[in-house]
Structures are given as structure tokens and as C-alpha cells.
Structure 1
Amino acid sequence: MYQQRANINDWVRGVLAAALGVMPGQPLPPLVFEREVASPTDQTQQLLEGASPDEWLVFDQASAAEEVLWPKDMFFGGNRGCRDGSDARLLRKLLHTMHGTPLPPVGAAPPATITLQRKSANRRIVNEEEVVAMLREFGEVRVVEFDSSSSLREQLEMAAGTGLFISVHTSNLANALLLPPGAAVVEVLQRNWAWEDIDQFFVSLTKQLEDVHHYALRAQGLNETLHTDPRLARLFGNWTAAQCQDQGCVESLTHVDIRVDVPRLRQLIAGRLALIRSGASVGEAALPWPQLLSPVAPPPQAQATHQPPPPQRRRAQVRLANRLFDSGVPEDMPDVADVWSYVRHL
């Protein structure tokens, strides 16, 4: 596995167990990990633990045909989900059955409860109270928060009782795979989050289920995606999506909070919810995935203080940002002027 051991939490173990036919409480078969490194982008390229660089792992033809599955990831023509829709629905059914969290009967309307998934570390919704007040116009609302210590069962229970699931783009949005047939997802995307279709990571999973609606609200205004580090805000705060294709800028977007455009979210929900609750199919209630738009300018006081640099300076800027991610921001760089001074001496 290319995951680090620290990331193999109860959710991941439970999904592996269901896929392998291991019942709750039973041990998983031995797992082989890649050597751990600090950078997530480098983790997938590491050698297996205990293997030398010139060592090969070989399967004979018979065992490879019967016991070995060779998945393709997104960079090799595959996807991040199951092999097909029937496998995705079977996995959902197995997980709920094995953990005693039954889904509504076939043909029943999805639950009426609206669930907002909260984040408290980063990608927080800074106007959460306003969002919750608006959601209550459409029904009962509950706010949940999960972390690495949360059990798979409590996340299954949440999913089984949810009809409308709202969340920012975060790893916990994988819970959308557990939603009952007929439920809907509204995913809130940070501005510029589009490198290599990364914004479509989770919709590619729900598409495989073929019975869960999935919509997205993409942040447009410069003041709707807020870098939690002021230095990153100065570096990348008003770059366009076309410019934000380097590691530094893309990784900076995982260290942001989001201000939701409540009127736009209300319009999206109001335009779909009645159709969904009437039993419309995923195809009948579908909307196009939101395209990247030119950002809407916020009030002057909220704008970033520097325009995007020319290409040569931008490359130096990205190298600097990558260093900052690896080693931390130097304490003697309080503002962007010091950043540029630092860049010139790289």
C-alpha cells in the first residue's frame, strides 16, 4: 500500500475488510507498505519496505490470473473507485450489512435529514452558522465532524440516515460512497481546485454507484477561498486556475478555509431538492459539473496585495513555496517583500 501507516484508520481498515471478505473483529491479512517519506506526492513512488532497489516481486501466471488484481490509477487510464457500478453498490451493501447499519428498503424515499460535514482543522466553512440557518429552510439539519479516531460504524450510521450530504472537498467526503440510493451530495470546492481533474475525485466515486446525485458549488470570489497562512495568501491569493498548476500553488489550496456563497447554495438546493425527493433518477436530476470561471472581484480591502508575477518570477516563487512546505516558513520573512528578497537569493 502507498498509504502511510498513520493513515490506515478504522474507515480504511473496514473498507479493506469488506473488499477481502474479512468480518468485523477479525484480523486483516498481512499488508505490505511502501517506505514512508514526508511528501505525499513522493509517497507513491517509493520502494516496498524491506525490498532492495534491484529486487523484483514476481507472480507466476496461474496465481496472477486467479488471485492478483492490477488496478489502474487516474494517471494510467483508470480511476479512484471500484471496477464498475455493481462492485461499488456491492461494497456499500457489504459495509452496511457487516456493521449492522441497514439502508432504507429498496424503492423507499431517501431520508429527509440534511447533514453538513464540518472541518475544524482546515477547509473550515467560516460562515457555518449562516449556512446552517439557510439549510434549515429545507428540513432537519445535523452537523457532524469526523477525524482519524472516528469509527467506521458511526460514519455508516450517519450516511444511512442522510438524504442530503453537504461537505467541502476533503478526504471525509469518501463517506458519500456510503449514502443510500436516492440521496444527494453537494460538494463545496475551493477556488482554482482543478489540477488534473482533482476536483472530480469524489464525483467519480458516486457516479459508479449510479443512484446517488452529486452536485458541486465552486468558489468564485477571491474572498471565498481564504489561505490560512498569510504568506501563502500573498503568494497565491489571486492566481488564476491556469496559473495554479504547480505543486506549491496546488498544495496551498489544502491550507484554506472557505466562505460559502449562501444565496448560490440556496439556489442550487432549491432547484434540485424537490426533484430528488420526488424520486427522479440521477440522470433526470443531473446538472453539468461547474466549470472554472474568471474570479469575481471582492471588495477592495479583501483583495490580495500583489498581482500574479511574470512566468520567470512565478517559477522561482513556486520553488520557494515548495521549500516552505518542506521546511516551514522562515520566521524572519514577515511580509511578501522579504519573500521576494529570499527568492532572489535562491
Structure 2
Amino acid sequence: MPQVNPSVPLSPLRALASRWWIALVLVVLGAGAGVSAAYATPTDYTAEARIAVGSQSLDARVVAGYSQASQQLAADVSRYVNDLQAQQTLSTVLGERARDVSLVAASPIPSSSVVRVEVTASDRETAVDGAQAMAENLTNTVNATTAGSGADALLQQYTDLSNKTSVAQQALADAKANLDSLTGARASQDELSAARAGVEQASSAVDVLQVQQQAVGQRYRNAISSTPAASGLRIVVPGQIEYTSLSGDVQRNGLAGAVLGLLLALGIAVLLDRRRVARHPSPTPDGPAPVAAGPRSVDVDRDLEATSEKW
């Protein structure tokens, strides 16, 4: 390690490095103080419940456009939750504990037909009960408006038509195969005409069924694309704690305390280094250095003394 000139101040970082133990102690103390402050601060608990919007069956999802319509419906349903409704619902279910609730929110999960209901409170049990109560209230409210909408009947009709269309398409494929085999076997014109008529009849049946299927599918999309005619809501995840503010507060406060401790250590190290320099001032004379007296200057002084004695 190079020698340090006691009369020259060090840079702030070198001053801190030379007194590293100060930084270590203050960083540990600062981080500990920040963590202690986080634990002393009241903790907020956020509970979450999830609601599926519309039918979740595979039959419904094969309908063209169903996924987009159900996602839009989830966004519309989430708007049912508002401050006034939340206040009334929570006051009825939680009673006096409703005052511990600080936030109620509902939002759709992106690219899905699921709605997330969140309740934040200062008590764990209150947050869980509040999220479950809001989810049940939203489900019951929306389902009450969807009773008798006919969406389930339309879905069943669409499924039946899909099955019939599959059977008709298979019959068309068999008719075409029969016509090909008769053509290759050089059958009579009467047999070929009958085979062609069978193909045309099977093709017409498929076309009719496909048109009916598309019409029913459009009616079903219209039925589930508006909130009053929704296909129904169902709670898929009951209320449970999603996260707390404690973990985030511990990290933020601990880091802030460590940074403050490091800055304080830097300031103390610089101050101690300046005091060291002040105790060892640099040798800088005020005027020019005196000239050493030589032999000639001594003789001149003696002549001046003799002249002064004569006078």
C-alpha cells in the first residue's frame, strides 16, 4: 500500500476505504433500523378471489368468436364493482370490520374470461372474508340477470347441429368415394347417375346444416356478448391472501437504511480525513528563503563596523 502524505487530503472513496469498518457498522445498523421500521408499520393484506365468466365447456369454446366475446364480457362484468356497492356489501357481511378495508377493486385477467376481485385490509381475516363476499355478491347479481336468457339452450342446439354436420360430411365423403369407384369400374350410366345424385344430395345436406350451425353460433355469440344476457358467472378461486405489504416494506426500508448508513459513513470518513490533514499542515513559508552568509559577506560586515567606530 503506498505511503499517505499526512498533509494531503484523500479522495472521499479512498478515505472511506481506509476506514471500511465504519461503513460496515453503519450499513448494518441502517439496514437493521429500516427492517425494524417496516415491522413496526401496520401491515396491509390483499386477498383475491377469481370468477369465471360464461361457459367454460369445450362445446362453448369451439363456437367461433366465443373467446373474444367472453373476454369482453369479463371486462364489462368487472365494472359492476364500485365503491358504493362494495361499501354496502362489506357492511352487511363484515359489520364493524368493514372499516378495516382500504381498497376494493375488480379487473379482468388479460387474455382470459376470468375476473379478479381484490380486497385490501389491515386484518388478514377481514381481507379474505371481504374478497369472498364481493365475489359472491358479483356472481349472484349478474346470474340473477341472466336467468332465462336461453344461452344454454342455444349452446345445446349448436352442439347438436355440429354432430349432425359431422355425420353429413361423412355421408358426403362416402358418396364421393362410391362415385369414384363406379367411375373406375366403368359402371353403367344409370349407376353413375344415381351415384352423382347421391353426392349432390349429401352435399346439399351438409350446406344446409352448416348454414344452420353458423346462424345458431351467431345467436349464441350475441347472447353471451352482453352483460344482461351473459351465460353465468362461477367462482373458480375462493378468497385467499395474495400478498402483503410487509415483504415489500422490509426490502425497501432495509435498502434505504443501508444506503443512508453508507452515505453517513462516507461523510464521517471524509471529516476524519480532513481532521488528519489539519493536524499535519504543509510546510509553506510566507516569504523567500534566507540566503546563507558566505566569507565575503562576513568581511563586508567587519569593514562597516570599523567605519562606524571611527565616526
Q: TM-score, normalised by structure 1?
A: 0.18
Higher relative contact order (CA 8 A, sep 6+): 2
Higher helix share: 2
Q: TM-score, normalised by structure 2?
A: 0.20
